[in-house]
Amino acid sequence: MSARAARVVLSMCAALVAMSVLIAQERPMQLDDTKVPKGRPVPRMANGKPDLSGYWKGTTQTRPGGNIGKDLPGWKLPLTPAGEAALKHNLTATVDPEAVCIIGGIPRHNASGLPFEVLQGNNKITFMYWYSYFRLIPFTPGLKHSDDPDPSFFGEEIGRWEGDTLVIDSIGFKEEKVWIDENANPHSDALHVVERWTRPDYNHIHVETLIEDSKFYTKPFTYSRTWALGEADEQIQEYSCSENNVDAAHLGFGPGPIRPDGTRGYVDPAPLPPPVPKR
Amino acid sequence: MTARIALLVLLLVAAVTGRLAAHHSFAAEFDATKAIRVTGTLAKVEWTNPHTYFYVDVKDESGAVVRWACESGAPGALSRRGFKRSLLKLGDTLIVDGYRAKNGANLMDARRVTLPDGQILSGASAGDGGPQ
């Protein structure tokens, strides 16, 4: 390496170190679970049930993020022919609904990279999301689904406790303008989701999800995930999706390429121009 | 070679910080094969959700002024990493490195912003699947 090239590399590294320091000051949206404390007792409500309240962040161990097929071999979803057609439609004729400020719904929010916040009461629990969306789930004993619920993005959600597990059973979903995950996989209005939420210890929340959709999937499949507790002073902030959504007019259809590891994005992006050496 | 080292260091930084937050996929809007540098005068700032935008006026070869829109992360995400609204001063000359919109508009994803004093800021919309 020539002396000039060495100087360029050194100045570039110095600039990158400066930028990495700035980035390091940002509180990460994800946590490395190997560094999260384990085993601290679960907080409980006055009625003895686990308190699921907290500001919950994904972990870097969740891979591939954003893919509802995360737990399936090769991330291969069991699509029916109608499901294959719906996926093709999503990829070639729809922009990401969340990018045009449509609610992601369930189970997509459980596959999101964004943190969420839970507040639990005696008869209801609320899950609050960035984008200023929330879902409020009653778990009063004896609740039953409606015969013909109005379709919605979160569905008609009914909760119940099974021991220390909060079970949320949801039907009545929308069929249009929904992606089941960030990779544009589909779901239909036949979707039935059963979430089983637990708090294994103070610093973790976990969900086991059963996803049934006989129109678009040949068999039920599961999706599980663990999140870690954020800092005590962290919480959901204002996030008005429609305030200045300039990018909506520039978005192409679908999520773009999906990498071999199951995540969205380019495999080999062109490098940026080298940083400008500090004068 | 320097570009490769830069990419490696950036990827390392991204891996260490493990940030995630995204309004849409990078690849749905931007072309990762079109890495560009825009140098111009800061003309306008929109410190808004779901993305911040700042606009720089760039003189082309004929002397005409072309305005580029530079898309960055949400205000909260930028602020938490030290990229504050107050650092952007109208009239300043900025160097913006990023990727151009796939539709050919004068719109870029501002992954790296260099201020007049040499300070480098990350404008990336973290977790969008784009280059970090």
CA closest to A115 among chain B residues: B21
Percent of chain A with pLDDT over 90: 84
Residue B116 domain boundaries: 21-122
Q: Mean pLDDT of all residues in chain A?
A: 91
- Look up the pTM and report it: 0.86
Helix boundaries (H) for chain B: 2-17, 26-29, 75-80
Question: What does the DSSP 8-state code read for residue B87?
Answer: G
Cβ burial, residue A67 (10 Å; 0-12/13-18/19+): buried
User: What confidence category does residue B15 fall into, taking pLDDT thresholds of 50, 70 and 90?
Assistant: very low
Is the predicted pLDDT of residue B18 greater than 60, yes or no? no
Check B26 against A276: CB less than 8 A apart. no
Is the predicted pLDDT of residue A17 greater than 50, yes or no? no
Contact status, residue B38 vs residue B105, Cβ threshold 8 Å: no
Contact status, residue B68 vs residue B107, Cβ threshold 8 Å: yes
Give the model confidence (pLDDT) of B64-102 as tens digits. 999 999 999 999 889 988 999 999 999 999 999 999 999
Best of B8, B17, B97, B132 to substitute, by most chain A Cβ atoms within 10 angstroms, is B17
Whichever domain contains B36, its CATH number is 2.40.50.1010
Is the predicted pLDDT of residue B107 greater than 90, yes or no? yes
Contacts of A245 in chain B (CB under 8 A): 50
Domain annotation covers residue B36: yes
Q: Is the peptide bond before B50 cis (omega within 30 degrees of 0)?
A: yes
Contacts of A263 in chain B (CB under 8 A): 129
Domain boundaries along the sequence of chain A: 26-250
- The sign one gets for the Cα dihedral B57, B61, B64, B66 is negative
Percent of chain A with pLDDT over 70: 90
Report the 10 Å Cβ neighbour count for A7: 11
Check B20 against A114: CB less than 8 A apart. yes
Domain annotation covers residue B129: no
Domain annotation covers residue B6: no
CA closest to B80 among chain A residues: A26
Region B111-130: what's the mean pLDDT?
90
Contacts of B13 in chain A (CB under 8 A): 16, 19-20, 23
Give the model confidence (pLDDT) of A188-240 as tens digits. 999 999 999 999 999 999 999 999 999 999 999 999 999 999 999 999 988 89
Check A266 against B27: CB less than 8 A apart. yes
Contacts of A98 in chain B (CB under 8 A): 23-24
Count: domains in chain B: 1
Is the predicted pLDDT of residue A18 greater than 80, yes or no? no
Check A28 against B5: CB less than 8 A apart. no
Cα dist from B63 to A204, B43, B58, B59, whole Å = 58, 17, 9, 5
- The sign one gets for the Cα dihedral A177, A181, A182, A183 is negative
Domain annotation covers residue B5: no
> b/e map of A36-64 (b: 16 or more CB within 10 Å)?
beeeeebeeeeeebbbbbbbbbbbbebeb
Phi/psi of residue A274, nearest 5 degrees: -60, 145
B51: its two tokens: 């993305």
CA closest to B106 among chain A residues: A250
A120: its two tokens: 């639990």
A5: its two tokens: 């090239």
For residue A18, what is the enclosing H or E element?
Answer: helix A3-25
User: What confidence category does residue A26 fall into, taking pLDDT thresholds of 50, 70 and 90?
Assistant: low
Check B19 against A98: CB less than 8 A apart. no
What ipTM goes with this model? 0.81
Best of B1, B10, B20 to substitute, by most chain A Cβ atoms within 10 angstroms, is B20
Cβ burial, residue A205 (10 Å; 0-12/13-18/19+): buried
